[in-house]
Structure 1
Amino acid sequence: MAAQSQLARFGSLQGKRVFVTGGGSGIGESIVEAFAEQGAKVAFIDIAVDASLSLCEKIALAGYEKPVFRECDIRDIPALQDVMRSIAADIGDFDVLVNNAGNDQRHTPEEVTLEFWNDRIAINQRPMFFTCQAVIEGMKKKGGGSIINLGSTSWHIANGGYPVYTTTKASVSGLTRGLARDLGPYNIRVNTVTPGWVMTERQLQLWVDEEGEKLIDRSQCLKGRVQPWHVARMVLFLASDDGAMCSAQEFIVDGGWA
């Protein structure tokens, strides 16, 4: 990560209540860390318990407020709703929601079963609406808020190899724009942050091979690699008062590929 002293501080995030899905690793981990470093009170959910608990300890040892972590499978909507209610009752209504959780498992069109389709929808699409629904009343009471949904450039660049995933990620833009119109009168902003090929541990272990490196070099305008913290910084901006008039928009962080 770039030297912390060289990156912007967003004073408006101090003390804000932030809820992040899938915050235990990868992009989500960087988002949780970034908000904690800004002085926000962060809560997150994940199914990766050990990684999530380690992250909480790491942040506390660095001198920031320890995040609130709850184990939750986002496919279970009643459980997700209960967890969000419980955390909000403990720390206060949320000012910021970041819908980050997802699964980009590769698959061919021929092998997709109805069970697989429903499971991918249950992970990548359905929870995103219900987390948004869960924060609306609290944000109304607070006079506003910021909802940030994580998209994907996969469908922008017509990627193959995971058609159910691209379907769900294309739908993020529709959710964002529709909710932005409905919630705008309450000063609730809704935006999409769309990462390109981000060098998370999962991507590096599974898919960024020699050919993948060559593809990135050919496709990005910039020579570097998109890191999780690059995405987190865009999320911070949109969550902060600096992004006060940004809503119904998509902000792509991909090194100039899409």
Structure 2
Amino acid sequence: MSEQTATFPDLKDKAVLITGGGSGIGAALTEGFAAQGARVAFIDIAEAPSRALADRLAGTSRHAPLFIHTDLKDLEAISRAVAQAEAAHGPTRVLVNNAALDDRHELLDMTGEYWDENHAINLRPVAFTAKAVAPGMIAAGGGTIVNFTSTSYMLNIGSMPAYTAAKAGIVGLTKGLAGRLGPDGIRVNAIAPGWVMTERQKELWVTEEGLAAMIDRQCLKRAIEPEDMVGPCLFLASGASAMITAQVLIADGGMM
């Protein structure tokens, strides 16, 4: 497991909003930004782990993270959540679109309703959360957006076609947002993680043989942990990446 040791002074006291920030990669990101002294608000639908995370970080962070319980399938709820975060912390200067649901599903059984539901979780909120924060970010003079995609859409994986389509769509959306918002001083990039060993992955899909096969394909011979995504995200959110936009950073241990 990696330990995030770099400090990005420009993130101190900055208003950060993270979707899906209550567990897995999102929880590592929430903790990572809080450790930089940022004013972190995070959105999640899972109430118990999110409140536990917020409570745990409240006593150790410069600013206690704000948990906002929200269903990202509800576009009006997204707008309300952004308004709540900005009422507490001021205009969002860093948005991290991390929330996702990578359920496996069979192409031949897939329905239109399932496709729409999947994209209402995995793709649509990325666009509409960016839309919701954009006016405040523009008025504040700029900011950064980091969208989490996945290497899964690059690997011809056949067990989640709606999910991989959504993750590919995030790359196109990232580039489109970068083109639209760049003149307003807003940078938009994406991170494509490899197979990250979250508790959900370990409970549902990780086997000893499957993990060994994945590590064998990586240049770096260890499992990827949620904390490994923190450094890349902090870098893209900070001024250290000042002239980087419309890009996809692959963080997969060198498999691709």
TM-score normalised by L of structure 1:
0.96
Q: Deviation of residue 169 (structure 1)?
A: 0.3
Which ranges of structure 2 fall in alignment gaps of 5 or more residues?
Answer: none
Q: 1:61 to 1:125 in 2, by over 3 A?
A: same
- Structure 2 match to 1:172: 170
* Residue correspondences, number: 256
Q: How far apart are the structure 2 equivalents of 1:186 and 1:126?
A: 22
Q: How far apart are the structure 2 equivalents of 1:256 and 1:216?
A: 11
Q: How far apart are the structure 2 equivalents of 1:212 and 1:196?
A: 13
Q: Which amino acid aligns with 1:121?
A: H
Q: Give the match's secondary structure for 1:154.
A: helix
- Structure 2 match to 1:29: 27
- Structure 2 match to 1:83: 81
Q: Deviation of residue 66 (structure 1)?
A: 1.1
Q: How far apart are the structure 1 equivalents of 2:201 and 2:80?
A: 32
Q: Deviation of residue 252 (structure 1)?
A: 0.6
- Structure 2 match to 1:196: 194
Q: Deviation of residue 157 (structure 1)?
A: 1.4
Q: Deviation of residue 2 (structure 1)?
A: 4.0
Percent of aligned pairs sharing the same letter: 47
Q: Deviation of residue 14 (structure 1)?
A: 0.3
**Superposition pairs of residues 165-244 of structure 1, within 5 angstroms:** 165-244=163-242
- Structure 2 match to 1:257: 255
Q: Deviation of residue 79 (structure 1)?
A: 1.0
- Residues 215 and 223 in structure 2, CA contact (< 8 A), matched pair in contact too: no
- Residues 38 and 62 in structure 2, CA contact (< 8 A), matched pair in contact too: no
Which ranges of structure 1 fall in alignment gaps of 5 or more residues?
Answer: none
Cα RMSD between the aligned structures? 1.1
Q: Which amino acid aligns with 2:13?
A: G
Q: How far apart are the structure 1 equivalents of 2:210 and 2:160?
A: 16
Q: Which amino acid aligns with 2:32?
A: A
Q: Deviation of residue 125 (structure 1)?
A: 0.7
Q: How far apart are the structure 2 equivalents of 1:117 and 1:22?
A: 20
Q: Which amino acid aligns with 2:169?
A: S
- Structure 1 match to 2:120: 122
Which of these residues, 105, 122, 133, is aligned with residue 107 of structure 1? Answer: 105
Q: Give the match's secondary structure for 1:94.
A: coil
Q: Deviation of residue 160 (structure 1)?
A: 1.6
Which of these residues, 45, 48, 51, is aligned with residue 47 of structure 1? Answer: 45
Q: Deviation of residue 58 (structure 1)?
A: 1.1
Q: Deviation of residue 221 (structure 1)?
A: 1.3
- Structure 1 match to 2:155: 157
Worse overlay, 10-19 or 133-142: 133-142
Q: Deviation of residue 86 (structure 1)?
A: 2.3
Which of these residues, 9, 12, 33, is aligned with residue 11 of structure 1? Answer: 9
Q: How far apart are the structure 1 equivalents of 2:225 and 2:100?
A: 17
TM-score normalised by L of structure 2:
0.97
Q: How far apart are the structure 2 equivalents of 1:193 and 1:232?
A: 11
Q: Deviation of residue 165 (structure 1)?
A: 0.3
Q: How far apart are the structure 1 equivalents of 2:59 and 2:202?
A: 27
Q: Which amino acid aligns with 1:103?
A: L
Q: Deviation of residue 54 (structure 1)?
A: 0.5
Q: Give the match's secondary structure for 2:119.
A: helix
Q: How far apart are the structure 1 equivalents of 2:118 and 2:75?
A: 14
Q: How far apart are the structure 2 equivalents of 1:63 and 1:142?
A: 25
Q: Which amino acid aligns with 2:6?
A: A
User: Which structure 1 residue ranges, 4+ long, deviate > 3 Å from structure 2?
Assistant: 1-4
Q: How far apart are the structure 2 equivalents of 1:51 and 1:218?
A: 33
Worse overlay, 22-31 or 88-97: 88-97
